[in-house]
């Protein structure tokens, strides 16, 4: 379920009877990309990976970009299994339990009740949490982009501050700032990046991948940047809606903070390792 929405994936962990195993599933749910992260993954894979190796061949380009996205997803699944194993042997150590899923007796579906329960018990609750976070976040992003000091926006100042650390990850300050400001929803990470590069005062929505690629390349993106952005897209903190859902499900600020830190630390370390290996290979070659 996490591939659709990590918040729904966290809620789906209720079917696990063991509190320990339910907590492990909640903490590692974010290691698979949700629907909000797929557009960024597909766009970057199409522009930089497929574009670099397929050229003008549309079919080959589509195949290569698909393979690139699938490989990133598989990496996330592998890390889910590895981190789950580590947690089960350390801080959440315990005896594994068996899972028994009883099938209820078959009854004729009552579509009215299903729709009402789905909308009011599930959908509206998740949307409510999203609105609570998205509205103030939108205001903050607008203020940062439009309020400046000495002719420089607050957004640019934050990006400049983060730039040295971002460079260690093979990114830049604007990219890292976009991920941080994109905590309300992963869908706005790329629009924030484009807004920063274009020095705009509002989120930018460009659908033409060629135009997006030109903007990114003009601002120093390389194949290394693209790979690290894809890695950090699947390995960074959950969105705010997911964090609120984790807080509700675990009833613990501690586990919510751990769920925030766990994928983020993995993403930072992996991006730094990728950048280091890339630089070493360049020196050797």
Q: With cut-offs at 50, 70 and 90, classify the pLDDT of residue 132.
A: low
In a domain, 16, yes or no: yes
Q: What is the pLDDT of residue 160?
A: 92
pLDDT (mean) for 204-227 = 87
In a domain, 119, yes or no: no
In a domain, 279, yes or no: yes
In a domain, 232, yes or no: yes
Q: What is the pLDDT of residue 276?
A: 92
Distance of alpha carbon 246 from alpha carbon 248, whole angstroms: 5
Per-residue pLDDT for 120 more than 80?
no
Beta-bridge partners for 153 = 148
pLDDT (mean) for 95-124 = 71
Highest mean pLDDT among 50-64, 81-95, 121-135, 261-275: 261-275
As a whole number, the mean pLDDT across the chain is 85
Which of 69-73, 145-149, 186-190 is predicted with the least confidence, judged by mean pLDDT? 145-149
Distance of alpha carbon 72 from alpha carbon 37, whole angstroms: 12
In a domain, 238, yes or no: yes
Structure tokens at 280: 């070493």
Q: With cut-offs at 50, 70 and 90, classify the pLDDT of residue 263.
A: very high
- Burial of 138 per CB tally in 10 Å (0-12, 13-18, 19+): middle
Which of 143-147, 156-160, 274-278 is predicted with the least confidence, judged by mean pLDDT? 143-147
In a domain, 143, yes or no: yes
Per-residue pLDDT for 135 more than 80?
no
Q: What is the pLDDT of residue 141?
A: 80
Q: What is the pLDDT of residue 124?
A: 67
Query: Dihedral through CA 71, CA 191, CA 194, CA 76, nearest 10?
Result: -20
Higher pLDDT, 128 or 172: 172
Per the CB < 8 A criterion, the answer to whether 191 and 246 are in contact is no
Phi, psi of 143 (to 5 degrees): -65, -45
pLDDT (mean) for 255-264 = 93
DSSP line for the chain: -TTT-HHHHHHHGGG---HHHHHHHHHHGGGS--TTTHHHHHHHIIIIIIHHHHTT-HHHHHHHHHHHHHHHHHHHHHHHHHHHHHHHHTTT---------PPPPP----HHHHHHHIIIIIIHHHHHHHHHHHHHHHHHHHHHHH-EETTEEHHHHHHHHHHHHHHHTT--HHHHHHHHHTTT-GGGHHHHHHHHHTT-SS------HHHHHHHHHHTT--HHHHHHHHHHHHSSPPPHHHHHHHHHHH--HHHHHHHHHHHHHHHHHHHHHHHHHHHHHHHH-
Q: What residues contact 226, with CB distance under 8 A and at least 6 apart?
A: 44, 45, 47, 48, 49
Which of 3-17, 89-103, 240-254 is predicted with the least confidence, judged by mean pLDDT? 89-103
Per-residue pLDDT for 140 more than 90?
no
In a domain, 102, yes or no: no
Q: With cut-offs at 50, 70 and 90, classify the pLDDT of residue 154.
A: confident
* Range of the structural domain that residue 82 is part of: 6-94+131-284
In a domain, 85, yes or no: yes
At 46-105, the pLDDT tens digits run 888 877 665 666 677 788 888 989 999 999 999 999 999 999 888 888 777 666 767 778
**Domain total in the chain:** 1
């Amino acid at each position: 379920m996490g591939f659709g929405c990590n918040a729904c994936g966290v809620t789906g962990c209720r079917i696990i009877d063991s509190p320990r195993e339910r907590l492990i599933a909640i903490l590692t749910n974010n290691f698979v990309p949700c629907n909000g992260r797929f557009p960024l993954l597909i766009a970057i894979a199409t522009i930089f990976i497929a574009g670099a190796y397929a050229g003008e061949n549309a079919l080959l380009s589509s195949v290569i970009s698909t393979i690139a996205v699938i490989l990133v997803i598989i990496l996330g699944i592998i890390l889910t299994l590895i981190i789950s194993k580590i947690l089960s042997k350390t801080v959440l150590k315990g005896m594994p339990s068996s899972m028994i899923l009883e099938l209820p007796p078959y009854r004729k579906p009552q579509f009215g009740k299903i729709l009402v329960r789905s909308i009011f018990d599930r959908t509206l609750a998740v949307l409510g949490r999203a609105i609570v976070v998205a509205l103030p976040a939108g205001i903050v992003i607008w203020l940062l982009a439009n309020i400046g000091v000495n002719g420089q926006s607050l957004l640019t100042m934050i990006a400049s501050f983060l730039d040295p650390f971002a460079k260690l990850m093979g990114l830049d300050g604007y990219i890292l700032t976009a991920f941080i400001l994109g905590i309300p929803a992963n869908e706005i990470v790329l629009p924030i990046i484009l807004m920063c590069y274009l020095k705009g005062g509002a989120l930018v929505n460009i659908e033409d991948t060629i135009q997006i690629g030109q903007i990114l390349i003009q601002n120093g993106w390389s194949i290394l940047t693209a790979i690290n952005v894809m890695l950090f897209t699947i390995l960074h903190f959950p969105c705010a809606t997911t964090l609120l859902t984790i807080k509700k499900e675990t009833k613990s600020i501690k586990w919510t903070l751990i769920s925030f830190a766990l994928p983020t630390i993995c993403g930072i370390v992996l991006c730094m390792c990728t950048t280091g290996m890339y630089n070493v290979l360049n020196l050797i070659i």
